[in-house]
Amino acid sequence: MSAGGETAPQTWKLKLYIAGQTPRSLAALSNLQKIVDEHLEARYEIEVIDLLENPQLAKGDQILAVPTLVKDLPPPLRKIIGDLSNTERVLIGLDLRPE
């Protein structure tokens, strides 16, 4: 079911943009943790970026909505917006599910 059975293992480079430690950011973070633990084991890097601390970083990835999870690698670039509560859609966004 996971991305196993394919070629050499690769690393998912993810960035989670939040704006302060709001309940919604915390929910996104815990939802994300559950998903990667289950589907990516050790093949991931997560950087959490709090825009309230680094407002200038909103520009680079064109972040308007928060929380936004950016998948830098593997390509293509994807932005997964919201608290990541819909696991199925997160998996599609991370290319861990077809369609």
Partner 1 sequence: MTVAAERDPGATRPLPKVPTGIQGFDEITEGGLPEGRVSLVAGAAGSGKTVFAMGFLVNGAEKYGDPGLFVSFEESSPDLETNFDSQGFDLKALEATGMLTLDHIRIERNEMEETGDYDLEGLFVRLGAEIDAIGAKRVVLDTIEVLFSAFTDEIIIRAEIKRLFRWLADRGVTAIVTGESGERHITRHGLEEYVADFVVVFTHLVNEETATRRMRIIKYRGSAHGTNEFSFLIDRRGISVLPISSLGLRHGAPTERVSFGIAPLDEMLGGAGPYRGSSVLVSGTAGTGKSSIAAAFVDAACRRDEKALYFAFEESPDQIIRNMRSIGIDLERWVEAGLLYIHAERPQTTGLEMHLVRMNREIEEFSPRVAVIDPITNLTSIGTYSSIRATMTRLIDAMKSKEITALFTSLTEGGDSSESTEIGISSLMDTWVLVRNLEAKGKRTRGLYVLKSRGMAHSNEIREFVLSDDGVDLRELPLGGGAPPATRAQS
Contacts of 82 (CB under 8 A, 6+ apart): 28, 65, 67
**16 belongs to the binding site for partner 1 (CB under 8 A):** no
> What's the CA gap between 81 and 28, in Å, rounded?
10
| Cα-Cα end-to-end distance for the chain | 14
Nearer to partner 1, 3 or 67 (CB): 67
Nearer to partner 1, 14 or 63 (CB): 63
**98 belongs to the binding site for partner 1 (CB under 8 A):** no
Q: Which amino acid is at 68?
A: T
Residue from 45, 46, 48, 51 touching partner 1 (CB under 8 A): that is: 51
**77 belongs to the binding site for partner 1 (CB under 8 A):** yes
**66 belongs to the binding site for partner 1 (CB under 8 A):** yes
**78 belongs to the binding site for partner 1 (CB under 8 A):** yes
